[in-house]
């Protein structure tokens, strides 16, 4: 009876995302140069969105708009009116240069699609996507902002991180975007760090829980370490976890608020769910057994494992749901990979083949758990996507 209830609870969880996306945008040689075009997935011809000499990239869609960058400038177009672009703002030139293929990571849109944020030279720029309102967050004296920031779901609050290099102090801060002071700030590491190399942050769907893994250099021994923080945003408290849970990486929250992570628990290396509350405990989803976590997709309650195939350096993907169902993706191929995703991380454009060096392998559209795969996308119609890069391509509703 208990098992039946658990299965019903899992299947009744609401999964997000459209039934099927209808458009793919990409940068391709078209109309006399490299331009942004839209390829309808089901009918109709290509639609050209840019026609100029600038080089576009970092495409993504939100709120019926297409966003992209060119050098240090962020642009937006209404999907319904091709060719009418507007400038949203500028990124720091050094960031645009060093992260030219990954600027999407630094441009954030709120869950309700009302706000967008991006790094400034010393601050955070915030702009409304509905009206002319805009704000800036400037760090305290002696601190610098470690980008990117992130919007808390269900509120107008923004998470951002600051670092004081002389003190070695790292702070997590939360502020309502229209306010001049922070709602909450905490220094959770318990040690000094000289620099932060990277971090990944995650909010639970309700916005009440926050998790982050931070790669930083310890000031004490100059070694790069990964730090793991779980924060209850409502109580403003850092959660203590069992010392037998050896985290390697947080991967995000489930729709019902459990935190997923890879690591070792009681000597078993695997992918886990951490249940929080009065009695926090973990549940093994799947042992890793030599595989690595390619990506976690809460919209489909699934994780993709990557494993090597013979001498091929490209991954071979398998989807595993939170209730243990295994699906080899494109099982006839020796390798497969994701070219791009929709904003819900539900639908993916996949590439797969039998020859490791194949740069124009067949393309497939399906959900990230391997469901609703129809057939290979027709080669002639989708030729611009054959060698597409992730930053130059996006799927839209």
Task: Return the pLDDT at 17.
Answer: 53
Chain centroid to CA 348: how far? 13
Q: What is the pLDDT of residue 28?
A: 94
Residue with tokens 């997923």: 260
pLDDT for res 8: 31
List 126's β-bridge partners, or say none: 117, 135
Sign of CA dihedral 212, 215, 217, 223: positive
Confirm if 87 and 81 have CB atoms less than 8 A apart.
no
Residue at token pair 């951002």 = 160
Cα dihedral 280→148→37→23 (10° resolution): 20
Q: Give me the pLDDT at residue 19, please.
A: 74
Say if residues 207 and 201 touch (Cβ distance below 8 Å).
Answer: no
Query: Which residues contact residue 21 at a Cβ distance below 8 angstroms, ignoring those fewer than 6 apart?
Result: 41, 342, 347, 365, 395, 396, 397
- Give the burial string for 163-181 (b: 16+ CB within 10 Å, else e): bbeeebbbbbbbbebeeee
Q: What are phi and psi of 59, to 5 degrees?
A: -80, 140
The pLDDT value recorded for residue 18 is 58
Q: pLDDT 10s digit of each residue in the chain, 397 long?
A: 333 333 333 333 455 555 789 999 999 999 888 999 999 998 899 999 999 989 999 999 998 999 999 999 999 999 999 999 999 999 999 999 999 999 999 999 999 999 999 999 999 999 999 999 999 999 999 999 999 999 999 999 999 999 999 999 999 999 999 999 999 999 999 899 999 999 999 999 999 999 999 999 999 999 999 999 999 999 999 998 888 999 999 999 999 999 999 999 999 999 999 998 888 999 999 999 989 999 999 999 999 999 987 778 889 999 999 998 999 999 999 899 999 999 999 999 999 988 888 878 899 999 999 999 978 999 999 999 988 888 999 999 8
- Candidates 182, 243, 240, 247; CA nearest to 214 is 247
């Amino acid at each position: 009876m208990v098992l039946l209830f658990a299965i019903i609870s899992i299947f009744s969880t609401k999964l997000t995302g459209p039934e099927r996306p209808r458009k793919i945008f990409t940068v391709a040689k078209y109309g006399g140069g490299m331009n942004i075009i839209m390829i309808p997935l089901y009918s109709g011809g290509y639609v050209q969105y840019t026609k100029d000499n600038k080089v576009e990239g970092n495409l993504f869609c939100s709120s019926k708009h297409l966003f992209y960058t060119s050098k240090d400038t962020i642009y937006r177009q209404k999907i319904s009116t091709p060719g009418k672009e507007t400038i949203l703002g500028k990124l720091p030139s050094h960031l645009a240069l060093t992260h030219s293929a990954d600027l999407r990571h630094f441009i954030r849109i709120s869950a309700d699609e009302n706000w967008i944020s991006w790094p400034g030279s010393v601050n955070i720029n915030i702009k409304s996507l509905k009206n002319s309102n805009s704000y800036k967050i400037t760090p305290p004296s002696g601190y610098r902002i470690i980008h990117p920031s992130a919007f808390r779901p269900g509120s107008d609050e923004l998470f951002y991180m600051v670092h004081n290099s002389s003190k070695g102090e790292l702070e997590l801060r939360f502020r309502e975007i229209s306010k001049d002071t922070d709602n909450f700030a905490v220094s959770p590491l318990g040690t000094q760090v000289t620099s932060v190399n990277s971090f990944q942050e995650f909010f639970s769907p309700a916005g009440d829980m926050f998790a982050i893994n931070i790669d930083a250099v310890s000031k004490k021994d100059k070694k790069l370490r990964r730090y793991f923080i779980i924060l209850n945003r409502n109580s403003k408290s850092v959660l203590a976890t069992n010392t037998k849970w050896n985290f390697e990486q947080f991967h995000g929250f489930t729709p019902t608020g459990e935190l997923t992570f890879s690591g070792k628990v009681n000597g078993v290396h695997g992918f886990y769910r951490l249940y929080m509350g009065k009695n926090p405990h973990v549940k093994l989803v799947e042992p890793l057994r030599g595989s690595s976590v390619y990506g976690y997709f809460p919209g489909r309650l699934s994780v993709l494992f990557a494993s090597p195939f013979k001498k091929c350096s490209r991954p071979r993907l398998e989807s595993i749901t939170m209730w243990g169902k295994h699906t080899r993706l494109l099982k006839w191929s020796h390798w497969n990979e994701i070219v791009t995703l929709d904003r819900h991380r539900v639908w993916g454009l996949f590439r797969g083949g039998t020859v490791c060096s194949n740069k124009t392998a067949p393309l497939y559209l399906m959900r990230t758990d391997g469901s609703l795969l129809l057939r290979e996308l027709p080669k002639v119609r989708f030729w611009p996507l054959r060698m597409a890069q992730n930053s130059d391509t996006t799927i839209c509703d």
